[in-house]
Amino acid sequence: DQQVKQNSPSLSVQEGRISILNCDYTNSMFDYFLWYKKYPAEGPTFLISISSIKDKNEDGRFTVFLNKSAKHLSLHIVPSQPGDSAVYFCAARNFNKFYFGSGTKLNVKP
């Protein structure tokens, strides 16, 4: 049973608009949440993280929001660029174990 779920396998967005990627989790013991970006034939690249004691973390064009009551995490990319086209994984940590979602493939159209 997956503890971290990304229910949208794909998302298509126009360049310059906002991309919103969503993630839901079931385990209230998770203390850290992360987003990774993955291009084909490469390993995932760390993007941004958020501690469970915060509700927002921002880094340039990327913002992660955490809603603990809803057990929901989202990644906002503003503005979206064609180079952002990749698969995005959310992940959550419980002690030293990590749980990943199945990924959302983002396509940013020029």
Partner 1 sequence: EAQVTQNPRYLITVTGKKLTVTCSQNMNHEYMSWYRQDPGLGLRQIYYSMNVEVTDKGDVPEGYKVSRKEKRNFPLILESPSPNQTSLYFCASSPRSTGTPSIFYGYTFGSGTRLTVV
Q: Which is nearer to partner 1, 15 or 94 (CB)?
A: 94
Q: Would you give the binding string for partner 1 spanning residues 14-33, x where CB under 8 A is met?
A: -----------------xx-
Reduced 3-state DSSP string for the chain: CCCEECCCCEEEEECCCCEEEEEEECCCCCCEEEEEEECCCCCCEEEEEEECCCCEEEECCEEEEEECCCCEEEEEECCCCHHHCEEEEEEEEECCEEEECCCEEEEEEC
Within residues 62-91, the interface with partner 1 by CB under 8 A covers 89, 91
Binding residues for partner 1, rule: CB under 8 A, are: 2, 4, 6, 31-32, 34, 36, 41-46, 49, 51, 53, 89, 91, 93, 96-103
